Homo-oligomer: A and B are copies of this chain.
Amino acid sequence: MRGGNVMKIPKPVSKRLSMYYRCLEKLKDEGIDVVSSKELAERLDIKPSQVRKDLSYFGEFGKRGVGYHVDFLIENLEKILGIKEEWNIAIIGAGNIGRALSNYVGLREKGFKIVAVFDKDDGKVGKEIAEGIKVLHIKDLDRVVKEKNVKIGIIAVPANVAQEVAEALEKAGVSGILNFAPIKIKASIPVEEVDISSSLRTLTFEIIRKHSTKGKK
């Protein structure tokens, strides 16, 4: 079934898939029905030949000289990426980042559902951090992960306790971790790191690039 398709995809390609998906969603929002590999490549800063090769893993979506039908491509990527599934999420850490994430609109409509927020601070436990979400004590992690079928744990604690939290999440049985703590997490389940300073670094390089080429075009 699903595995059959997924297994064939090389890892570097898999990393680009959510980029394509996100870009296609934007194109759809902009009212664009058909897109060429050149247009997709330009928006994503990769080579058109790379786009054609990546998308060829999923069969013949594009028509030579016409391009890809945005809706059709979105539908197929949704299947491949498991986008139609619902993913239950627990956040560890009821601080500023945990609060921001619990209240982040736009996750729910994409199939990501925050079902629990944990903290070890008794002063925070029991308080409502977002609409309908009361902070739970971290000691209840194992039980709640099982009861609420939590698949993803988000680490929103200080760096010095992040690894310990990752281990607790893995032990509790989550399938993957999104890490906001500025430290590399070691785990045997997939971990995705969110690093704001890395995004800022890309931005500052673009700024430098732009200023250094100013007046040349």
Judge whether A127 is part of the interface by a CB distance below 8 angstroms: no
- List residues of A (72-111) whose CB comes within 8 Å of B's CBs: 81-83, 85, 87, 89, 95-97, 99-101, 103-107, 110
Q: Which of B2, B21, B190, B201 has a CB less than 8 Å from the CB of A21?
A: B201
Residues of B within 8 A of A21 (CB): 201
| Chain B: minimal CB distance from A7 (Å) | 6
A192 to B95: give the CA distance in the assembly, Å.
Answer: 25
What is the copy number of this chain in the assembly? 2
Q: Is the CB–CB distance between B190 and A207 below 8 Å?
A: yes
Q: Nearest residue in B to A27 (C-beta to C-beta)?
A: B184
- Residue interface mask A183-215, B partner, CB < 8 A = 1: 010000111101111111111111111111100
Residues of B within 8 A of A197 (CB): 106-107, 110, 112
Q: Nearest residue in B to A194 (C-beta to C-beta)?
A: B199
| Chain B: minimal CB distance from A144 (Å) | 19
Q: Is the CB–CB distance between B3 and A212 below 8 Å?
A: yes
Judge whether A11 is part of the interface by a CB distance below 8 angstroms: yes
Residues of A within 8 A of B (CB): 2-3, 6-7, 9, 11-12, 14-15, 17-19, 21-22, 26, 29-30, 45-47, 81-83, 85, 87, 89, 95-97, 99-101, 103-107, 110, 112, 151-152, 159, 175-178, 182, 184, 189-192, 194-213
5 A-B residue pairings within 8 Å (CB atoms): A2-B208, A18-B202, A22-B201, A29-B184, A190-B210
